[in-house]
């Protein structure tokens, strides 16, 4: 059955309405407009709470469920069961947010797809329908400074798209000495999508930031959740300076990885997800890399021997390059063009046999993140 993530958003924990939920026994979900919240109870029932305070009711699911499943209650009252493999993090006392974010291969694929229609184009204006999309400078200054900027190239830093800009030579602003290079950075976050469209094509209600090109086309930043961010800076490091090295760059050697690993005492899964230590790797590719290297996700970073470090280094680079070859992974409606989900070794394969040894793939939670590994190949 297909996964469904498009109705997940930030909602209140309805357990505070009088139902006592044990730790790890509840999943909080909601629809796109946040009108309802659903909590999965330990007995397989679902507690529904609509927008009216105090109005809660119980509904029995068609089948018993556990913590690894989430339930959508359709408008007709029927229940559909979907596998739950997304991760969540607690926000405050009574809010949870389900997260699913593009990782390095998905962002790299997006960069490559945008180069042909964007490089060489002059930005004549920008429409900002959601002011909080603009992280820096202020929306007013952003609009002033982005005008007449020409896109010279597009690269990637970690999970950021980086548009290298210069003042167009035909612009009157050049006569005023405004020739400094600037950078437009975009972070897609959970639900961001970038598309180049003809200016006269219908706009979606979630097209929150729109860059107008001189050739009559538009770069549209569609962002259902509104978590995405846009930056216009003179120095990329103003935004990305805190990030760790790029795992696919030539300067990222096995020796360099070993130095970083040895300087920290962290479980490897946690280490790989720390963007300040290694940039761009997310939940999917951390699991896949560790499996390919045959290293357990709970092993500590400073416990790896030189041979283990080399295996992990090769595995990270091979896993990311292979995913880029497949245009990334499509695990939800936001990013539909990937194919690498058809090549997962352990991610999303709980209880299925390992392709290497035949032992079952296990799923645990580490630091609030789904973690998949082979019970045979990856021993502690």
Whose tokens are 């050049």? That residue is 174
Give the SS3 label for residue 240.
helix
Report pLDDT for 170. 59
Could you tell me if 92 and 119 lie in one domain? Answer: no
Whether 185 and 82 map to the same domain: the answer is no
Identify whether 1 is part of a domain. Answer: no
Q: What angle do CA 275, 378, 289 make, to 5 degrees?
A: 35
Query: Which pLDDT score, from 0 to 100, does residue 325 have?
Result: 92
Which pLDDT belongs to residue 1?
A: 22
Is residue 316 one of the residues assigned to a domain?
yes
368 shares a domain with 279: yes
**Last residue within a domain, chosen from 65, 99, 133:** 99
Catalytic residues: 102-103, 159, 369
Is 77 among the domain residues? yes
CATH number at residue 187: 3.20.190.10
Q: How many domains does the chain have?
A: 3
The DSSP symbol for 22 reads P
Shared domain check, 120 and 235: yes
Cα 263 to the center of its chain, rounded Å: 27
Q: Which of 177, 205, 240 is the last residue of a domain?
A: 240
Give yes or no: residues 109 and 236 share one domain: yes
Q: Which residues contact 120 (CB under 8 A, 6 or more apart)?
A: 150, 151, 152
Residues 193 and 169 in one domain: yes
Report pLDDT for 169: 61
State whether 308 and 344 are in the same domain.
yes
Pick from 79, 99, 119: which residue ends a domain? Answer: 99
Tens place of pLDDT per residue across the chain (380 aa): 222 222 222 222 333 222 333 322 233 333 222 223 344 433 334 444 332 223 223 222 222 222 222 333 222 222 222 222 333 333 332 222 233 578 999 999 999 999 999 999 999 999 999 999 999 999 999 999 999 999 999 999 999 999 999 986 655 554 444 546 899 999 998 788 999 999 999 999 999 999 999 999 999 999 988 889 999 999 999 999 999 999 999 999 999 999 999 999 999 999 999 999 999 999 999 999 999 999 999 999 999 999 999 999 999 999 999 999 998 887 655 566 778 888 999 998 999 999 999 999 999 998 778 899 999 999 98
- Are residues 78 and 37 part of one domain? yes
Quote the CA–CA distance of 178 and 145 in Å, as a whole number: 10
Q: Which helix (H) or strand (E) element contains residue 152?
A: strand 149-157
Q: Domain for residue 2, yes or no? A: no
30 and 118 both lie in a single domain? no
Residue 367, pLDDT score: 77
- Burial (CB < 10 A; 0-12, 13-18, 19+), residue 154, is buried
CB 364 within 8 A of CB 353: no
CATH code of the domain covering residue 326: 1.10.8.50
4 occurs within a structural domain: no
Q: Which residues pair with 231 in a beta bridge?
A: 136, 185
What's the domain range around 92? 11-99
The order of strands in the sheet holding 95-99 is 11-12, 95-99, 87-90
248 located within any domain: no
Residue 5 lies in a domain: no
- The answer to whether position 301 is within a domain reads yes
As beta bridge partners, residue 366 has 369
List beta partners, residue 123: 149, 213
119 and 235 together in one domain: yes
Residues 156 and 228 in one domain: yes
Q: What is the pLDDT of residue 335?
A: 62
Residue reference for tokens 């479980």: 267
* pLDDT value, residue 310: 98
CA 198-201-206 angle, 5° bins: 105
Strand partners, 187: 160, 229
Cβ atoms 70, 29 nearer than 8 A = yes
Based on the fold, state whether residues 234 and 109 are members of the same structural domain. yes
């Amino acid at each position: 059955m297909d996964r469904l993530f498009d109705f997940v958003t930030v909602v209140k924990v309805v357990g505070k309405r009088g139902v006592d939920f044990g730790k790890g026994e509840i999943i909080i979900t909601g629809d796109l407009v946040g009108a309802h919240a659903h909590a999965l109870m330990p007995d397989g029932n679902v507690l529904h709470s609509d927008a009216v305070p105090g109005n809660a009711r119980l509904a029995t699911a068609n089948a018993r469920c556990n913590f690894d499943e989430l339930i959508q209650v359709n408008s007709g009252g029927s229940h559909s069961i979907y596998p739950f493999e997304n991760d969540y993090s607690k926000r405050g006392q009574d809010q949870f947010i389900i997260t699913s974010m593009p990782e390095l291969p998905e962002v790299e694929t997006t960069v490559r797809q945008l180069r042909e229609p964007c490089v060489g184009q002059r930005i004549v204006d920008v429409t900002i329908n959601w002011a909080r999309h603009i992280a820096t400078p202020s929306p007013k200054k952003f609009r002033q400074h982005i005008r007449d900027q020409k896109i010279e190239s597009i690269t990637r830093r970690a999970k950021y798209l980086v548009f290298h800009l210069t003042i167009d030579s035909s612009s009157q602003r050049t006569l005023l000495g405004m020739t400094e290079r600037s950078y437009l950075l975009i972070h897609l976050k959970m639900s961001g999508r970038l598309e180049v469209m003809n200016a006269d094509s219908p706009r979606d209600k979630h097209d929150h930031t729109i860059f107008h090109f001189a050739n009559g086309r538009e770069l549209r930043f569609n962002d259902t959740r509104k978590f995405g961010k846009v930056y216009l800076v003179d120095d990329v490091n103003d935004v990305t300076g805190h990030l760790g090295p790029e795992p696919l760059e030539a300067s990222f050697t096995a020796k360099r990885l070993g130095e970083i690993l040895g300087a920290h005492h962290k479980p490897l899964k946690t280490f790989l997800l720390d963007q300040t230590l290694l940039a761009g790797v997310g939940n999917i590719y951390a699991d896949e890399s560790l499996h390919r290297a045959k290293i357990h996700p709970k092993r500590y970073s400073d416990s790896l021997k030189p041979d283990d470090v080399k295996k992990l280094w090769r595995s990270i680079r091979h896993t990311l390059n292979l995913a880029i070859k497949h245009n990334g992974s499509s695990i939800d409606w936001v990013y539909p063009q990937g194919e690498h989900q058809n090549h997962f070794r352990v991610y999303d394969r709980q209880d299925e046999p390992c392709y290497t040894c035949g032992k079952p793939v296990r799923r645990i939670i580490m630091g609030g993140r789904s973690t998949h590994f082979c019970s045979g190949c990856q021993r502690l």
